[in-house]
Amino acid sequence: MSVTASDVKALREKTGAGMMDCKKALAEAGGDLDKAIEVLRKMGLKDISKREGKVAAEGTVGLYSHAGGQVCAMVELNCETDFVARGEDFKEAARGIAMHVAAMSPSFLNSSEVPQEILDKEKEIILETLNENQKKEGVVEKILDGKIKKYFEENVLLNQLYIKDDSGKNTVEDIIKELSTKCGEKVSLRRFSRFGVGEGIEKKEENFIEEVASTLGGN
């Protein structure tokens, strides 16, 4: 089956892939658009695995502000070329991840950033909650692994389920990999920041009130 220019255009609009890659994928898929998308994804995954050593120094800063400016977040999403960084899909992904950060308030970017002392403390707390049957050899290890995995899913940005993913299955890391496959470049999330009005002040205010109350009581 011959591949038409309109077929190639339609596939490019859906995937953002290059013209020759679209033509090759359509030919392999016999002109079937959905199958051609699968072919492109497989091609992209192979190409991306070869790009791990590439430098991703271009990119964009995604910004999100919520609740009348009470909560805001920013992320730096990197890629290899300015061409990709200027694309709407790339910018939208950065904004989406910033929204995720504002909503989910992660503590760490990736699991390797979690200090060992925090993990040790988590394990200590978990062990204290186990009963005698759960402390049996072979069982406790599985429980600890599962609980630590859950900790990462709740506190590590790349391990969190992406809030804008309707399937409820893809993590932020999965979304970044999909974007990398789509644009044909290495894409990485370098850093993030989140600000909430009043965060960290409450305890100081409470201490101040206690000090004032103590002073008045002493008088």
Sign of CA dihedral 101, 103, 105, 108: negative
Across the chain, the runs of DSSP E, i.e. the strands, are 58-66, 71-79, 188-196
- Residue with token string 């995954």: 45
Read off the pLDDT of residues 121-156 as tens digits, 9 standing for 90 and up: 999 998 888 887 777 767 788 888 999 999 999 999
Read off the pLDDT of residues 2-23 as tens digits, 9 standing for 90 and up: 788 888 888 877 766 667 778 8
Read off the pLDDT of residues 40-73 as tens digits, 9 standing for 90 and up: 766 665 455 555 556 677 999 999 998 788 999 9
Which residues does 63 contact at the CB level (< 8 Å), separation at least 6?
Answer: 72, 73, 74, 95, 98
Share of the chain above pLDDT 90, in %: 42
Q: Write down all domains in the chain, each with its CATH number in brackets.
A: 1-50 (1.10.8.10), 115-153 (no CATH)
**HEC assignment per residue over 130-181:** CCCCCCCCCHHHHHHHHHHHHHHHHHEHHHCECCCCCCCCCEHHHHHHHHHH
The reply to whether the predicted model has a pTM over 0.75 is: no
CA 107/CA 94 separation, integer angstroms: 18
